[in-house]
Structures are given as C-alpha cells and as structure tokens.
C-alpha cells in the first residue's frame, strides 16, 4: 500500500511538472522606437489554448539594459485581446513607454518563471538583476528599429505552431493585435525554392562591395536569400536546413552573412579591407526558424570583387565616449559628450541647459599624416534639432594637438558637406575631398557655437577618413624593405642593408614604435600592438627610406 501511495504521488508530481512546462506562448511583435517622437509603442504576445490557463499568471516585464533592472511589468489579463487564429489568441499591451535600446529587453513569464526562450533584447544583450528573469542573459532579437517610421514594428514571420518555427524580420507595417505579415499558425510549409537567382554580380566601390542579382523564378519562389561573404583562404560552408543563419558582419573568422528579402535584389558589404578579393555566395530559402529550407544543391551562384588599394586612415563612431576625438571648451559650461539613441552612438553638443547659454566648443580629430595617401575623403553623419548657429567644419595643418584652437590656423570647409536640418534626422555628409589640404600633420575639427538667445543641438557620428596608399607603399623604388612573416603575430623580422631606424606607423599616421636596427636580420616584438594594418618604415643614415605594409594578427 505504501508503494502505491508513492507511485500515485510520483505520477501526480510528474503530471504537475508537465503542465508547468507546457505553456506554448511567445512574444510575437514589438514596437519600441520610431523617427521623431515615439508613438504607439506596444508589445504583442501569442498564447495557444489560453482558456486552459489563468491569464494573470502570464506577464510581460520590461528591462533596462544599463542596470539590468525591470522598469515596468503587466499581467496579460490587462492586455487587449486581438485576433483568434485556430487555437492561438493574440494579446497586446501598450505601456506608458518602451525604452529605446542599446540594449533594453523584455521577458514573458508564467507564474513568475520566464518561459523558455522568452527573455529577449534589442540592440545588444543584457543580464537581468531582478524580476522573473533575474540572473538570466537575454537573447538579442537581431533586428532593430533605428530609423523606422511611425506605423512599423518588429515581428515574427514564418509558418508554425511554436516560437522556434518563426524568425524576427526587419521593421514592417505594424499588425498590432493581428497575425503578422508573412505569418501563419499551423499552415502548410513551403517546399525548397525551385531555382537560384541569376545575374549575381559584385562590384567594388572603394572599401565597399555592391551585390546585385535577378530574383529566382520557378514553381516555388524564395522568401529570402542568405548571402555569405568569404575572405581569401576561407572555405564557404553551405547552410543547413532547420538552422537559421543570423546576420553576422564580424569578419574576424573570415566570413560574414546577411539575409535579404525577395524583391530587393541588392546588398552592400562595407568597411572592408583594401586590396582584398572577397567572394560571395547566395542561397535562396523558404520558411523560417526551425522550418527554414535552404536550396544548396547544384551550382551555388558566386560573385567576386577586389577592393581598391585603400585604407581607413581614421574612423570614429563614438561607441566609447568621444573616442580618439578631443573636445576643447573655449566658452561656456556645456561640453561635447558621447551619447547614444536608438542603437546609434554619437558625439553630442548643446548649449541649452534649462535656458540657452553662449558657448564655443571644438571637437578635434587625432593628428593624421595624409602625405602617405591620395584620393583622400572625409565623410560623416549629423543629426540636429532646434534653432541656433550651424555646426562648422574646419581643418588645420599647424595645430599642436593640445592648445586653444583659436591660436592656430584653421580653414573652414563647412560648405563642402551636407548637413542635417531639424527633427534629429540623420543626414550623410557625402565625400569631402581632402587631397588639396593633405599634410604630414593634419587635423579636422567641428566648431559648435551658441548664444544666450538660442542654441541648436548637434549630433555627429561615423567620422571616416579614407585614402588610397600612394604608389610605392607596397613596393619602394629606392631600397627594398624585406619584412617577414607578414602577417605577423608576436614578432616580425626586418632585414636592413645598413644600420638604420625602423618605425611602425598606424593608419592615422602616428608612429607607435621606433626601433634601432643593425645590418642583417632584426627581430622586432609586436606584442604591444593591437591587431590591424600598419606601415613599417626604415630610414637609413644617408637619407634613403623604404616603406612596406605590415599586418599584425
């Protein structure tokens, strides 16, 4: 009899555990940001067979990415009931505010426990410090609303009956309270695409490569394409059915991937290495999530292109404060700061602090040696709002890198760039040619001014100086410079014809290492250098020099 009681208790325990794990519910749609003032923010969830549960046992909790703490929560019994599709019911909640990311997140829980896979975040990941997700690390949705217009949202698409069957898509027309665009609960799956796209081509544009193709045709059209970019010496690996490949633009492993919807027929890979051949493979697919079905048989279309002999001389996106740019405050208490909004990091300046104040504040680039380059261009993006003096752009060839910029010669080139107007709309500057101003000691600067009557707010990001290494950088006609191995890791060997000085120069023109060498082979340690491209220069006592490239890995 005791054994029977034990068996009954065990069965009851197992049955109760099964019920606790059986909730089929997920976050289905989200709108957290749009251009201008945020409007109509909401969260949408789906629950299968909601009549089997008490709705107040389900809750959405919103999380702040800076602290990891929750800032709002609501149980589903207070949500608005939307469309019913088969056994699935949609519920929506419009909180007072949903934070804009970099990162922030949300969880869906049942009876205080996060449902598996339902602690999500956008614009990065976070670890929760309280609430139902406490101690858990979020899963990045992989899509954002950086510049979405009002009326769009992030939403799942695909065919299936559980979260794993779907995939997050880039902003699309909002379907709040209804089944999402390209989504079906329990419908039939599409077969593999019939054909590959045609006319797949790659064209290099400086350090970017533009891809184009003609969409696949046939009995079964693709939903989208996976494009896989591959660097030299790396072997492409075909995707596997049922395993979605997320966007990954980190080339550190030699491969980058993006997903592009059907009908777009174009894509761009940017900020690539110079003088490098890249290969790109394109795989059409249907469905999403665990049901994704790639076409990989036959001959996969491939396109190749080689970037120009160019280099990134300086780049700053202000992801860590003001980065390598230096502020100089001439007048006023307000100063340049690093900031972020909607996943975009930038330098920000305003003379307004409860009222407008008179200010003069400069934001100055690092020193650059532009004599090594030709076809030099500077580009950036700005966003502005409110009335006040416009931001100005200058360059200097005699600035000392530390003093009051008004004590040196600066030439204004503001009119050579395009600038933002109002409403914090981001505007790309276009290419500002620097060839006519190039020197061995070159600085760029933004000059902000405001008055005690009015002050605009200016935001600047993606400050990129790019140029083509002059003839002779790869092969010097004066003397040979033998450097090996190249790429190098911990040390490099430099062969000198006579006693000399060897200088290692970064691509901003700054000498980061100077080493005396003797005739013959000399080993130079590299352990104190960051990975990347450098120039290595040898200078002999008779005045002859040679320059070569050095890649540190």
pLDDT digits (tens, 9 = 90+) for 392-407: 999 999 999 999 999 9
For residue 531, which of 511, 494, 508, 506 has the smallest C-alpha distance? 506
Higher pLDDT among residues 50 and 462, named by residue: 50
Grade residue 469 by pLDDT with cuts at 50, 70 and 90: confident
Looking at 159, 184, 209, the residue that finishes a domain is: 184
What is the three-class DSSP state of 221?
coil
Domain boundaries, position 105: 25-184
- Range of lowest pLDDT (207-216, 246-255, 349-358, 525-534): 525-534
**Does residue 75 have a pLDDT over 50?**
yes
Residue in this structure with the two tokens 């700061």, named with its chain if needed: 337
Alpha-carbon gap, residue 197 to 266, rounded angstroms: 12
- Range of lowest pLDDT (66-80, 94-108, 231-245, 482-496): 482-496
The pLDDT value given to residue 471: 61
Looking at 441, 469, 497, the residue that finishes a domain is: 469
The pLDDT value given to residue 273: 79
**Counted domains in the chain:** 4
pLDDT digits (tens, 9 = 90+) for 319-362: 889 988 999 999 999 999 999 887 688 999 999 999 999 999 99
For range 86-93, the mean pLDDT: 97
**Does residue 517 have a pLDDT over 50?**
yes
**Does residue 275 have a pLDDT over 50?**
yes
The mean pLDDT value of the chain amounts to: 89
Instruction: Write out the two tokens for 61.
Output: 């909790």
| Same-domain pairing of 243 and 348 | no
Higher pLDDT among residues 27 and 21, named by residue: 27
pLDDT digits (tens, 9 = 90+) for 92-108: 999 999 998 779 999 99
Alpha-carbon gap, residue 500 to 544, rounded angstroms: 10
Phi-psi region of 332 (alpha: psi -120 to 50; beta: other; left: phi over 0): left
For range 365-375, the mean pLDDT: 90
Alpha-carbon gap, residue 249 to 256, rounded angstroms: 5
Give the list of residues 6+ apart from residue 16 with CB closer than 8 angstroms, or none: none
Q: Are strands 198-205 and 545-552 parallel, antiparallel or unpaired?
A: unpaired
440 falls within a domain:
yes
| Same-domain pairing of 206 and 180 | no
Backbone dihedral angles phi then psi of residue 318, each to the nearest 5 degrees: 60, 35
For range 429-444, the mean pLDDT: 94
CATH code of 387's domain: 2.60.120.260
The pLDDT value given to residue 12: 38
475 falls within a domain:
no
């Amino acid at each position: 009899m005791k054994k029977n009681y034990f068996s009954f208790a065990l069965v009851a325990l197992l049955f109760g555990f099964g019920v606790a794990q059986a909730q089929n519910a997920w976050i289905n749609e989200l709108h957290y940001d749009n251009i201008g003032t945020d409007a109509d923010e909401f969260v949408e969830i789906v629950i299968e067979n909601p009549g089997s549960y008490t709705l107040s046992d389900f809750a959405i909790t919103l999380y702040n990415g800076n602290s990891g703490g929750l800032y709002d929560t609501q149980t589903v019994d207070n949500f608005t009931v939307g469309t019913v599709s088969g056994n699935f019911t949609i519920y929506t909640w419009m909180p007072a505010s949903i934070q804009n990311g970099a990162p922030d997140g949300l969880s869906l829980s049942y009876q205080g426990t996060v449902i598996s896979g339902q602690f999500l975040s956008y614009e990065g990941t976070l670890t929760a410090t309280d609430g139902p997700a406490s101690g858990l690390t979020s899963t990045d949705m992989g899509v954002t609303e950086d510049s979405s217009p009002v009326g769009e949202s992030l939403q799942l698409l695909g065919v299936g009956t559980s979260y794993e069957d779907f995939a997050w898509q880039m902003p699309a027309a909002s379907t709040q309270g209804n089944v999402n665009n390209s989504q079906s609960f329990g419908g039939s799956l599409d077969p593999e695409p019939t054909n590959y796209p045609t006319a797949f081509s790659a064209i290099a544009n400086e350090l970017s490569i533009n891809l184009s193709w003609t969409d696949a045709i046939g009995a079964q059209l693709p939903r989208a394409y996976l494009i896989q970019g591959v660097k030299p010496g790396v072997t492409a690996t075909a995707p596997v059915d049922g395993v979605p490949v997320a966007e990954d633009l980190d080339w550190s492993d030699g491969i980058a991937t993006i997903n592009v919807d059907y009908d777009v027929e174009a894509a761009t890979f940017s900020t690539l290495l110079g003088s490098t051949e890249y290969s790109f493979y394109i795989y059409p697919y249907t469905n999403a999530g665990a049901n994704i079905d790639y076409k990989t048989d036959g001959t996969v279309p491939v396109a190749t292109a080689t970037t120009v002999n160019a280099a990134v001389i300086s780049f700053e996106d202000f992801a860590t404060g003001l980065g390598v740019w230096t502020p100089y405050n001439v007048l006023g208490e307000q100063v340049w700061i690093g900031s972020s909004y909607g996943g975009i990091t930038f330098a920000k300046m305003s003379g307004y602090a409860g009222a407008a104040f008179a200010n003069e504040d400069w934001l100055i680039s690092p020193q650059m040696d532009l004599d090594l380059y030709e076809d030099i261009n500077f580009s950036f993006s700005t966003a502005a709002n409110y009335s006040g003096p416009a931001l100005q752009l200058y360059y200097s060839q005699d600035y000392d890198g530390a003093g009051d910029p008004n004590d040196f010669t600066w030439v204004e080139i503001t009119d050579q760039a395009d600038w933002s107007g109002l409403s914090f709309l981001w505007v790309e500057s276009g290419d500002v040619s620097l060839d006519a101003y190039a020197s061995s000691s070159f600085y760029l600067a933004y000059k902000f001014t405001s008055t005690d009557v009015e002050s605009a707010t200016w935001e600047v990001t993606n400050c990129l100086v790019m140029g083509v290494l002059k003839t002779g950088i790869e092969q010097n006609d004066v003397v040979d410079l033998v450097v090996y191995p190249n790429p190098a890791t911990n040390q490099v060997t430099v062969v000198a014809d006579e006693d000399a000085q060897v200088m290692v120069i970064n691509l901003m023109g700054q000498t980061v290492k100077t080493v005396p060498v003797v005739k013959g082979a000399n080993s130079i340690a590299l352990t104190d250098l960051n990975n990347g491209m450098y120039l290595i220069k040898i200078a002999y006592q008779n005045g002859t020099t040679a320059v070569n490239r050095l890649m540190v890995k």
